[in-house]
Amino acid sequence: MNREETDIAALRQNYTRGGIDREDLLPDPIAQFRIWMEESVAAGLLEPNAMSLATVSADGLPSIRTVLLKGLDERGFRFFTNYRSQKGRDLAETGNAAVSFLWKELERQVNIQGRVRKISREESELYFRSRPYASQIGAWVSEVQSGEIPSRCYLEEREDLLRTQFPEDSVVPLPEFWGGYLLEPVSLEFWQGRESRLHDRLRYQKASDGLWKVARLSS
């Protein structure tokens, strides 16, 4: 091995911040998630609402990327993106997804599985109006997110054109190819790092009666 190369296998972190017991958790996993999110915000973490979103295509090919959580209520987790993107196509084909939040400074993860559907156009419009002008224009720039483009200049030229078409003092319309999704969870796992890799893993699973059952998982 080259001396300048990092020995990845030797990288190791011991987790010592504490643990979680079944009795520590609220009956409602959404309420429990909200507490952990608020604690990550209070800790000053960088973009604590960042989540890894995993989807799978109709032919079984998985893909993953980072998106931002932009809404949370009793129904589930909301995020916004280009409907023509790879994730948009995957969700149209299968309707299933998983997301993972990593708050490494707190030695915590939350892993969520569920069904995903588009939210109403009215909800998407409301969020779009709250975005900064540059972000509204940015949504228009990539009509097919993840699609191949000839150069960086292509994006910059489109941005200039759209800024002329939709001046800053005008109302930028919501693109028909852009909007929100709601992930309705069926499983949420709360993970707290522990010493010796004997991590605490407590999973909420939605039963057929709609109630949440909690089980401890082996590390």
191 labelled as ligand-binding? yes
117 marked as part of a ligand binding site: no
Is 201 one of the annotated binding-site residues? yes
Is position 162 annotated in a ligand binding site? no
Question: Does 87 show up as a binding residue in the annotation?
Answer: yes
CA distance 18 to 40: 15
Q: Is 118 part of any known ligand binding site?
A: no
Residue 46 one-letter amino acid = L
67 is in an annotated binding site: yes
- The answer to whether 108 is a known catalytic residue is no
65 is annotated as contributing to ligand binding: yes
Please check if 206 is assigned to a binding site: no
DSSP class per residue in the chain: --TTS--GGG------S----GGGS-SSHHHHHHHHHHHHHHTT-S-TTEEEEEEE-TTS-EEEEEEE--EEETTEEEEEEETTSHHHHHHHHH-EEEEEEEEGGGTEEEEEEEEEEE--HHHHHHHHHHS-HHHHHHHHH-SSTT---S-HHHHHHHHHHHHHHS-TTSPPPPPTTEEEEEEEEEEEEEEE--GGG--EEEEEEE-TTS-EEEEEE--
Q: At what angle do helices 133-141 and 152-165 cross, to 10 degrees?
A: 120
Question: Residue 182, annotated ligand binder?
Answer: no
The one catalytic residue among 84, 197, 203, 216: 197
Judge whether 198 is annotated as a binding position: yes
Residue at token pair 């909007």: 179
Task: Determine whether the annotation assigns residue 17 to a binding site.
Answer: no
Binding-site residues: 12-15, 65-70, 80-81, 87, 109, 127, 131, 135, 145-146, 191, 197-199, 201
Binding-site residues for FMN: 65-70, 80-81, 87, 109, 145-146, 191, 201
Q: Which amino acids are annotated catalytic? A: 197
Binding-site residues for substrate: 12-15, 70, 127, 131, 135, 197-199
